[in-house]
Structure 1
Amino acid sequence: MTVPNQDPVPQTSIAARVRRKDAAANRQALLQAAQTVLADHPNASLDAIAQAAGLSRRALYGHFPDRDSLLREVIAVGAHQFNDIAVSAEHEDPRIALAWLAARLWREASAVRASANIAMDDEHLADTANALAPLRERLLELTRSGANSGAFRSDLSPELLAFLIESTARATLRQPTLSPEVNDATVVRVVLSIVGLSWVEQSELISAHPEVLSGELGMGSES
């Protein structure tokens, strides 16, 4: 049987695909380099970021016209990860959901510290507010749920509790160096303290629900 001749793929199409693939790889390399460099040096120059990515400054400008556009993209990358975690913070007990959310966000912030640091910068509050809107909405939902059920303190409004939790996170992340004692368990205890749980109640909750720190949150009905 004769196989019909197939038209060869135009070389121009192949070259275009290669260029698009290279461009995507370069953009990803720049974002990863920015996260790494800015984590330790928040005021690092574009030259330093481009060098860390193994690219030229000209190549960087091909993707980001200025430093601010690069920083906004780094914020967006981190916010996407934070918001995904917020959506996953589901449990019948608002104490467990909030504790799990705090632990996961802390670990994620440590992994993408550049994103977290930039997001906490006063110069980028507007960008951060927009990018982290789902996270802030979920946090407020949890404080309202906890207040309505009596699990959280009632002398402060849910809105103020959510604000205090966020402000505490901002203050903590702004510290250039943190004590080794500041880990996800510590962060969980601080957040639970804000909403009114005593240190004894915190210990009992963490002991009874190891999934808070393990990351495997379920919808169990135990409280």
Structure 2
Amino acid sequence: MTTRAPRRDSVENRAGILDAARATLALDPRASIDVIARSAGLSRRTLYGHFDDRDALIRELIVSGAQRFNAIAESVTDSDPRMALARLAGRLWQEAAHVQVAAAIALDEAHVEHTADALAPLRRSVAALVRRGQEDGSFRTDLAAPTLARLIEEVARTVVSRTDASSTGAADLAVRTLLSIAGLSWIEADALLAANPELVEEVGA
């Protein structure tokens, strides 16, 4: 028995709902399902044909966002752990800043478990990067690798949810903060970014 592919209009409606949800939540993180449906140009009944409830819609946003974050982690291939962390931080910030409110919702306590599952590949990448950085002396070793990786995750979570993405220097601050947590002094972070201006340009793009 073959499985019928979703109709094109159904796929487009679902994508439209997700786009509308991102835009609507950026204006009002507590926007109701009715408001999201109207923003998508659909009836509430049509929206419920795609998602059982608001939480199901939020979970889908988390999954789609996590896929982009996971892909970013895979794209970072620098051999120098310091460079890799700076590039990863910059690219993740750039992505999160575009959908900061939705990202903050994904990272709040109500959705943290679902978010953790969706971001498992990214978390594995961070853990491997931390181990590599500790082994070659780039990162601090006074903390066990799993603890340091978790600390980097928690600080990144706080930065995304608490920092105004539109403020001047916010992205640069995010990168420097994670480098600091990893064990680099502000002088070392400054020298790294000065010697590799493409990292700053990439963050600010």
Q: What TM-score comes out, normalization by structure 1 length?
A: 0.83
Distance in 2 between residues matched to 1:184 and 1:176, nearest whole Å: 9
CA distance in 2, matches of 1:182, 1:63: 40
Is the Cα–Cα contact under 8 Å of residues 165 and 171 in structure 2 kept in the other structure?
no
Opposite residue 86 of structure 1, the aligned amino acid is: A
**Contact 2:37/2:47 (8 A) holds in 1:** yes
The answer as to whether partners of 2:18 and 2:61 remain within 8 angstroms in 1 is: yes
**Aligned mates of 1:206, 1:193 — CA distance in 2:** 13
1:151 paired residue among 128, 133, 138: 138
The verdict on how the C-alpha distance between 1:181 and 1:161 changes in structure 2, with shifts beyond 3 A counting, is farther
Given candidates 78, 83, 87, the residue that maps to 2:70 is 83
Instruction: Tell me what 1:8 maps to.
Output: none
Paired amino acid for 2:98: A
Q: Does structure 1 conserve the Cα–Cα contact (< 8 Å) formed by 2:107 and 2:157?
A: yes
Unpaired stretches in structure 2, ≥5 consecutive residues: none
* Other-structure match for 1:134: 121
2:152 equivalent in structure 1: 165
CA contact (8 A) 2:156 2:178 kept: no
Count of aligned pairs between the two proteins: 200
The structural deviation recorded for 1:24 is: 1.4
Q: Shift of the alpha carbon at 1:214? A: 3.6
Give, as a single letter, the amino acid of the residue that structure 1 aligns with 2:77. E
Percent identity for Structure 1 against Structure 2: 49
Distance in structure 1 (CA, Å) of the matches to 2:96 and 2:16: 20
**Which residue number in structure 2 is paired with residue 204 of structure 1?**
191
- TM-score (normalised: structure 2): 0.90
Q: Which of residues 84, 94, 97 is equivalent to 1:110?
A: 97
* Superposition pairs of residues 9-28 of structure 1, within 5 angstroms: 20-28=7-15
What CA distance in whole angstroms lies between the structure 1 residues aligned with 2:175 and 2:89? 6
Q: Following TM superposition, by how much is the alpha carbon of 1:174 offset from its aligned partner in structure 2, in angstroms?
A: 2.6
- Superposed CA RMSD: 2.1
Q: Structure 1: any 5+ residue segments left out of the alignment?
A: 1-15, 217-223
Counterpart residue identity of residue 121, structure 1:
D
Per-residue displacement from partner, 1:30-67 (whole Å, max 9, x unpaired)?
00011111123221100010111111111101111111
Q: Distance in 1 between matches of 2:83 and 2:90?
A: 11
Query: Is this contact kept in 1: 2:103–2:160, CA < 8 A?
Result: yes
Within the alignment, does 1:55 sit opposite 2:42 as a pair? Answer: yes
CA distance in 2, matches of 1:25, 1:147: 46
Q: Which residue of the partner structure matches residue 190 of structure 1?
A: 177
**Range with bigger deviation, 76-85 or 153-162:** 153-162
Q: Hey, what does 2:83 align to over in structure 1?
A: 96
Aligned mate of 1:74, from 61, 66, 81: 61
Deviations 1:1-49 (A, max 9, x none): xxxxxxxxxxxxxxx99x9222111111100011111123221100010
Secondary structure of 1:156's counterpart equals coil
Look up the match of 2:107: 120
- Tell me by how many angstroms 1:124 deviates: 1.1
Q: What SS does the aligned partner of 1:174 have?
A: helix
Change (3 A) 1:214 1:182: closer
Distance 1:27 1:44 in 2: 18
